[in-house]
Every structure is written in C-alpha cells, then in structure tokens.
Structure 1
Amino acid sequence: MPHSESPPESEDSPTPMVDVDQQQQEDAAPESTTAQVPEVQQPADEDVDMTDSNAPTQTLAESESKAESQAEPQNDQDTPVPEAATSAPSESKPATGVKLEELFDEMDSDEDDEFPTSKAAKREPASSPDLLSSQSDMEIDLHEASDPEVMRTFYQRLFPWRYLFQWLNHSPTPTNDFGHREFAFTLQNDAYLRYQSFTTSDLLRKDVLRLMPSRFEIGPVYTANPRDRKTLRNSSAFRPLSKELCFDIDLTDYDDIRTCCDKANICQKCWQFITMAIKVIDTALREDFGFKHIMWVYSGRRGAHAWVCDKAARSLDDQKRRAIAGYLEVIRGGAQSGKKVNLRRPLHPHLVRSLDILKQHFQSDVLEAQDPWRTEDQQEKLLALLPSDQKQLVSALRNKWASSPDRPSTLKWADIDTVAKTSTAKNLDTKSLLDAKQDIVLEYTYPRLDIEVSKKLNHLLKSPFVVHPGTGRVCVPIDVKRGGLESFDPLGVPTVQSLIREIDEWKKPETKKGEEEKQEEKHVVDWEKTSLKGYIEFFRNFVIGLMKDEREVKVKREREEEGGGGGESMEF
C-alpha cells in the first residue's frame, strides 16, 4: 500500500536503504509475532535509538553473556487495542486524594525488570577487546556504538522505557495514545519497518531487544492500530489523529554563515546558533501560542528537536501546522541564494522580540566568534545585503576595507554607521539602512528550520534517548528553563560506551553503621549510577507535569459533561 508520507529526512546523509522482500524481513525477525508484514521504506532521521535498564546489576561482560536469553520475549503477542473510532479504553482512576506524583512514585517502586537494580557486589572491569585496544577513546566509542551487544546492554539497562511510555500515553495506564501510535525501526541490514505498534512499553522493549534496530522513530496516533491497517474494510478510515508538533534545527543549514565548522562537524562556537534558535522558537511557542509542555532534545550530532506536547498542539491538523511553521519561518532560500530575509515594515511583534533576544548574540557569537566577513569574498556578501540604491556607501566601504585586508568583522560592522555619517553619503536613506541592518542581524542569527518536519501529522521523528550511530552520543533532553540551555555542551553529552563504563566503575556510597540496613533496602537503578541521571530525572519531571495537566483537563471535561454544561460551580 503506498504511504502518504515518506520517512523523515536524515539529519546526516543516511546510507541508502536496501529493498527487502517479505521473506528477508521475516529473516530479520524470525520469531516475531509482533512484526506483521512490516513496511520497507527509505530511512528516517539518522539517529540511533535504544535504551533500558532493568536486569540484575552485573558487569558488562556478565550482561553480554546473558543478553541472548534476556532478549527473547516471553509473550510477544500484541493484543490489538480497541479502535479509537469506537471508544478509548477506560483509565483506572487513582484513589481519591492521591496525587499524581505519588501514583508515579508508586509505579516506579514496583519490582519489574525495566530498570535493573544493583547490589554492592564487586564488578569485574569490562573486558571488551575494543576497550583495551590502542585506538583513541573516540574511535573505540564509535566502533562500539554500532556493536549490537553494546547496544543491547544499553537498551536493557539504561533506556527509560516506562517514562517514554507515559510521555506518549499521557497516562500511567494504557490508552490508544500509545497503542495506536506508530513506531518505525531501521534494522542493522538497513531494512526500514514502518507501522509497528505496541500496547505496552514492555512489548516495545522486547521487540527492540529482539530486532536490535540501529534506531527507531516515533510517528502519529492513528484511528486504528497501525498493524491492522490492511485488514480494515475501509482503508480511508485509517488516518493520523494526533502527534506532537515538532521542530527540527540542523547546523548544516548554517554552513553559509558559520566559519568554524561545516557539514557534520560542530564545536561550541557554532552550537550557539542552536542556542539562539531554541530561545527564539521556545519563546514564540509559549508567548504567542500559549503552549506549555515543550521539550527540546539534542539530536545526537549537530542539531536539536522540539516536541510540543500540549493536547492542543497534538490535535492540530496539517493546515494549522503549516500556519504555525509559516509564522516562525523567516529565513528563505538555500545556501546559494542571495538575500534570505526580506521583511515588511513595521516588523511583526514576534520579530521585534526576536531581535531583542538575538542582538546580544550577534555581537559576541557572530561578529566576534565567527568573524564572518574577514576575507574579501566574505565582505562582498555583506555589501550585497546593503540597500541596492546606496552605491555610494557600498563603494566607500569597499575602498576603506581594501586598505585594511585583515580588518575584523566587528570593525567592518561599525564602519557601516561611521561611513554613513560622512559627507560621501549625504543623500543616504537612513531608514532604509536601518532596515537592512536589522535584516542582516536576522539572517545571521534567526532560526533556520527544517520546515517539512513541522507541516504534517504523519512525519516521523527519532525518539529521545536514542543513540546516534555516527557519534555514539545519547539524544538527551535540554533543560531550557533553568539555565541549562546556556551551559549545554553537545560534545560533553554521554556516549553509550562511557555510560557502560560508568556503571562498571560505580561504587556504593559509604554509609554510617545505623544506616546500613536502610541502604540495603534502597535499590539503585543503573541509570542513577551514570551521567545520564540528570537527563532522565528531567524527562521524568516533564512527564509528571504533562500527565498532571492532562488529568486536570479530563476531570474538568467530565464535570462539565455531568453538569450538562451548566453555569459556574460554587466553591466553598
């Protein structure tokens, strides 16, 4: 059946996919009862996705020796969830007076094997030959990031499966928000499986451990179980219902203005373009559209993704998504095009606010850090952005800079105003020049969005906490609110191999004699022993806030329905 949407474009040019027939797909998943007639397509975002943490604490060597037996699902039968068109499954209601946070904590305390706990037993150091080789740490990490056994350990012991389920399900108990959600897997042989679905996080986890995909993506919630789409009498009844509103920012779109790096390479200097973009987009989404639950996630290499999770955002149709994307899009044209910002005056309040945010970054992160107009060729780009009718000004600037070939960009930017005030530019239109300078600031600082990611409901995007195959780094969330954005270092994000080393090197904290028994009872899950801890705790708190608001909206709606939409209620 033809698909309405091709898989999302790769952040890094993906390896061409190999077309496989149904028999080859069955070979890739020989014992699966859940992978029914998988779809084979081109790859989605090049991001690796996997994680979990719930098997008894053990060394990496021990974990790998048991991997095969643990990966085999006990019961992979994927029971279809009732169709959304009929009625959503009823949610079990928490006891009256119990706070959502307490319910969440109670769920976390159950002794399943999602996040394995660790006793104080001594660990043998990881014995992987790659760790003992003479290669650099980076080469080792990249090699082992593609090792299925290393990834299996990551899925089993570190990936936050339960929190991922609650984030997409919007409730602690299963609903169609998760059961009718599409997942897509890219297998090690480059087969791409679309329309996978699972009723619980445990079934998703088991399938990932069985298939060992190099990455997986998240799609929309459909009107029916995606696995059952071919059995529907009316194929038009199968359509996407909801999905988070997403945004994608990639540093390759800044290659024409960043001077420090290009292509897949990044550093702290050019990462500031992502920081600027997040500030502008996040502020607009909150202040102009009223969205509250926005999670930014590092893509694992050179970009960031936004997931707007409010119910109002998830329910937007394609037309409204295009409208929001168009509202936020200012930079137009590719790397080879000329002037990319052409704005009407007076500026929209969103752009006025954005300029206020970006001005400080323009001076320090563009003029000083990037020095974008130092060479003669580069300075010609700047002159081309000045008003076309101000030839006298342009000529005067060109002559001034010719006498100082190494003049830095900070001084060249200041020269525009200095020369404009001289007698050589008496007839200068100062209003036109001011507008041009504002456009230049926006062209060098305003977010460059991959707008196609935001336009359609059925666009897939890689999951948070996956591992990027090219870098080995985990796609961790970024704390925008509490100063975490300015301090975020993409090159300091943990890699899958460094996390496994941290588990093996973890030592139980020393305790006083009176507290020994208490400490014995307190289990420590594997991710708490690693630098992933802060990121998962942030994600957990984000999910708690989202579920709390979802429940409050549901309770309010139920009360209104019970009261027949009557007048205002009285509170005593």
Structure 2
Amino acid sequence: MSRLVGVVMVMDIRREETLKSILSEYYRYNISKIYKPNSIDGREFGFNFFGGSFKRHIEFKVFEEYVNYVQRMVPKDVYYSIATYREPTRAMNEKGWVNAELPFDLDAEQLLKTSDELIKSGWISQSVYEQIKQRFLYLLEDFIEADFGLDEKDYMLVFSGGRGYHIRILVEPYINLDQKLRRQIVEYVSIGYKPSVPIKANVFQPFCHDYGWSRKLFEQIRVMEPSQLEELGLSSDLTAKRVISAFRKAKNPSSVRLNRSEFTSMEKLLDFVLGSYTVAVDERVTVDINRLLRAPGTVHGGSGLVCKAITKNDLESFDPFRHASMENVSRKRVHVRRVPFEVIINDESVSPELNGKEVELNSALAYYVVVRGGGDFIDEAV
C-alpha cells in the first residue's frame, strides 16, 4: 500500500511539473498579452501555485514588476482585487479601501441552473458556452447599457477562462457603491419586477414607469404567442388574451390599466416571462467590495484557457476554444481516458472516439484534457 501511495504521489508531482512547464512556455512568449490594470500600485494581488499554496496581500508598484513575477514564478492562477487601496499589503481592515469596480460574474452552473455533473466538473461544451454568451449579451445590452446608461468605455468584458464571463464596471458612481447598494443592483438584475398596487377600486396599473423592467416585461407580454399560452395552460383563457390585447393597445407601460381578474392573470404571464429574462449573476462576486478576480491575460489553471478581455464587437463571434487558447508550439503525448465530447483547440481535436488511446496533442489541448481529468501525460508512468 505504501508503495502504491508513493507511486501516486510521484505521478501527481510529474503531472504538476508538466502542467507548469506548459504555462511557463505560454508566459515566455506571450507575457505582453497580460492586461495592465489601472491604479496597479493600489491593487492587491493573489496567486495560486502548483502544489496547492496560495499567496495574497501582494503589491506591485509598476506593471513590469507584476509581469516579471508571473513569468518567473509561473503561478497556476493569477488574481487582483477589484478594489484599490492605500495600503494593499496590509490586513484587510488596515488596507484603506478607496473604491472598487462593480463586477458581474455569469457562471455556467448557476446561470443555467443545472446539476449537470459535466458542467460542475468544468467540462463546458461549445453549445453551452454559446448559451452563456447569449445571456451575457442580454445582461450587457438590456441592463448595463439600456438601464444603467453605460457604454463600452465604462466597462470591461472578460471571458473568465473557465465557466463564464465577467463584466467589470470601471466608472463612478458605481465604483463608489457600498455592499448594500451593490446587493440592490443584484436584486434588480436577478429578481426583477414587483407589480404595483391598485390606483383605485378594481383598477390596477401594473407599471409605474416606462423604463427598466417595466419596459422589458411590457414588450415581452405584447409579443406572446399562442404556443406560450398553451405552455402555461392558458390557451383557452379569455382573460389572459384580454391582458395581451390591452398590452398591445397601450402606447407605453405606464398607460396599461387592468381589472382585478386581468391583473391576476397578468401575474401568471409575468412569472413565465421573468423565468426567461432574469439573469442569475453570482451575488457574492458583485457584493464583495474586496473581491479578487482572475487577471485578464493570464491562464486559468483549471482549464488552460486564457482569461481574456474582449470587445463587444468581438463578443458575438467569440469562441473560447478558438480565441482564448494558449498559443503554444510544443507537443505532449497523452493517454486519453474519458473525453465526453469533441474539443478543438488550436485546430486540433480530441473526441470520445479517442478514449482509451494514446495520442500526441498540442500542449494547449493536452493541458485542457489532463487538467479536466480526461487523460494523463504519457511520461507520468513510473
């Protein structure tokens, strides 16, 4: 038994060494792709290293110190604070908080409300990434831009390198918000609309405003199809049809008027619409004013994909496997144990047909397969 434990430990060490060597190659030739955060001398940095150690409360006075550290130390994961501090290296209550970006994190498992074991273990297919991206675009266009009035100069869009995307709002007044106000923003985005009270006996005004959630829900109910009513069991419900007719006749949300039975029917329609249009952002990330977020331009050690800043124009065609891969030239031999679906990185693929076989792969694809638990490096054998 002790010899078996020793063999496993040696294999784990060799595996970690090989993974680290692949990251080292990436940083050797791509260090210029690391993003330079503003106010870098006020940021707290954190690093997760191969072997399991984690260090934080680290400060860099200039950008060159930061990238040289990454290149020299080859951490598995790199993070920096959304906040800026007067003293970043001190204990949390002594740092002297100045302000903090307002981040939104859309994660596959939470966003899609799934218990899928593949997604939970990090295996995200291209089709799932596409679903996440569409929800991300919805959050960006219907909330960040339409409701908050922001444009591309005010925020940064980032593929996390793992299971989703980040929006980081960089401007006032958002960077000055405390935790209570940030939680209210999460509630607005994630929970949505609450119907208003009656304006007089048996007359209800569902919407007091012509913007925000009022506008979103007003527009969605106006265009509801018979198939959606059938899905709700309301295909023969004359009251529900009167509600939709009233919405279509109204010039704007605040002009809608309903009686009590119509208002009750409308609430059923709203529940249906809200289920499709609320966005499940990670509340912990948005509310935590001291949060460390993954650093753009660095590699996600749990996937081998690059945490990458992207423009809105590039987002529509963005494919993590194509556009966030390490541009490495080395190759590694891998014993493929279990790959659940085809993965294409750097114009090379692995698929379930290769399960149980030994193959030579580009090191970026090899990293992804091995770190996700789908295979082993051949030279790990002892």
What is the aligned counterpart of 2:19 among 147, 150, 159? 147
Secondary structure at 1:164 match in 2: coil
- Which residue is 1:420 aligned to? 237
User: How is 1:106-505 mapped onto 2 (pairs within 5 angstroms)?
Assistant: 147-160=19-32, 164-165=35-36, 168-169=37-38, 177-219=39-81, 220-224=83-87, 226-227=88-89, 229=90, 237-256=94-113, 262-263=119-120, 264-270=122-128, 271-292=130-151, 293-330=154-191, 343-345=194-196, 346-347=206-207, 349-355=211-217, 413-414=230-231, 416-421=233-238, 429-480=261-312, 482=313, 484-496=314-326, 499-501=327-329
- Alpha-carbon distance between aligned partners in 1 of 2:277 and 2:22, rounded to the nearest angstrom: 39
* Cα shift at 1:476: 2.0
**Contact in 1 for aligned 2:158/2:296 (Cα 8 Å):** yes
**C-alpha distance 187-266 of structure 1, shift in aligned 2 (>3 A):** closer
- TM-score between both structures, scaled by the size of structure 2: 0.62
Secondary structure at 2:84 match in 1: strand
**Contact in 1 for aligned 2:16/2:51 (Cα 8 Å):** no
Letter in 1 for 2:124: I
Decide which moves more: 271-280 or 349-358: 349-358
* Cα shift at 1:285: 2.5
Cα-to-partner distance string for 1:286-328 (whole Å, 9 max, x where unaligned): 3433434212211223211111112433333334333333332
- Alpha-carbon distance between aligned partners in 1 of 2:31 and 2:98, rounded to the nearest angstrom: 27
Cα-to-partner distance string for 1:227-267 (whole Å, 9 max, x where unaligned): 3x37xxxx965322122111111111144469997533434
- Alpha-carbon distance between aligned partners in 2 of 1:492 and 1:195, rounded to the nearest angstrom: 34
- Which residue is 2:245 aligned to? none
**Contact in 1 for aligned 2:104/2:281 (Cα 8 Å):** yes
- Alpha-carbon distance between aligned partners in 2 of 1:304 and 1:318, rounded to the nearest angstrom: 21
- Alpha-carbon distance between aligned partners in 1 of 2:16 and 2:323, rounded to the nearest angstrom: 16
Unaligned runs of 5+ in 1: 1-142, 170-176, 332-341, 364-408, 423-427, 503-572
**C-alpha distance 280-208 of structure 1, shift in aligned 2 (>3 A):** closer
**Contact in 1 for aligned 2:31/2:67 (Cα 8 Å):** no
Letter in 1 for 2:67: R
- Alpha-carbon distance between aligned partners in 1 of 2:265 and 2:93, rounded to the nearest angstrom: 54
Cα-to-partner distance string for 1:345-397 (whole Å, 9 max, x where unaligned): 4356311344478789999xxxxxxxxxxxxxxxxxxxxxxxxxxxxxxxxxx
**Higher share in strand:** 2
Secondary structure at 1:195 match in 2: strand
Letter in 2 for 1:296: L
- Alpha-carbon distance between aligned partners in 2 of 1:283 and 1:198, rounded to the nearest angstrom: 37
- Alpha-carbon distance between aligned partners in 2 of 1:300 and 1:267, rounded to the nearest angstrom: 13
- Alpha-carbon distance between aligned partners in 2 of 1:180 and 1:356, rounded to the nearest angstrom: 44
Unaligned runs of 5+ in 2: 1-14, 197-205, 240-259, 331-382
User: How is 1:533-572 mapped onto 2 (pairs within 5 angstroms)?
Assistant: none
**Contact in 2 for aligned 1:180/1:221 (Cα 8 Å):** yes
**C-alpha distance 304-183 of structure 1, shift in aligned 2 (>3 A):** same
* Cα shift at 1:190: 1.3
**C-alpha distance 273-419 of structure 1, shift in aligned 2 (>3 A):** farther
- TM-score between both structures, scaled by the size of structure 1: 0.43
* Cα shift at 1:216: 1.0
**C-alpha distance 207-164 of structure 1, shift in aligned 2 (>3 A):** same
- Alpha-carbon distance between aligned partners in 2 of 1:156 and 1:299, rounded to the nearest angstrom: 21
**Contact in 2 for aligned 1:358/1:445 (Cα 8 Å):** no
**C-alpha distance 259-435 of structure 1, shift in aligned 2 (>3 A):** farther
**Contact in 2 for aligned 1:291/1:310 (Cα 8 Å):** no
- Alpha-carbon distance between aligned partners in 1 of 2:118 and 2:58, rounded to the nearest angstrom: 38
The Cα RMSD (Å) is 4.0
User: How is 1:70-85 mapped onto 2 (pairs within 5 angstroms)?
Assistant: none
| Bigger radius of gyration among the two | 1
Among the aligned pairs, what percent are the same residue? 24
Cα-to-partner distance string for 1:494-522 (whole Å, 9 max, x where unaligned): 422xx1239xxxxxxxxxxxxxxxxxxxx
Q: Compare relative contact order (CA 8 Å, sep 6+) and give the higher one, 1 or 2.
A: 1
Letter in 2 for 1:489: D
**C-alpha distance 434-268 of structure 1, shift in aligned 2 (>3 A):** farther
How many aligned residue pairs are there?
Answer: 284
Cα-to-partner distance string for 1:448-495 (whole Å, 9 max, x where unaligned): 011111113211111112222333211223432x3x333333343342
- Alpha-carbon distance between aligned partners in 2 of 1:477 and 1:360, rounded to the nearest angstrom: 37
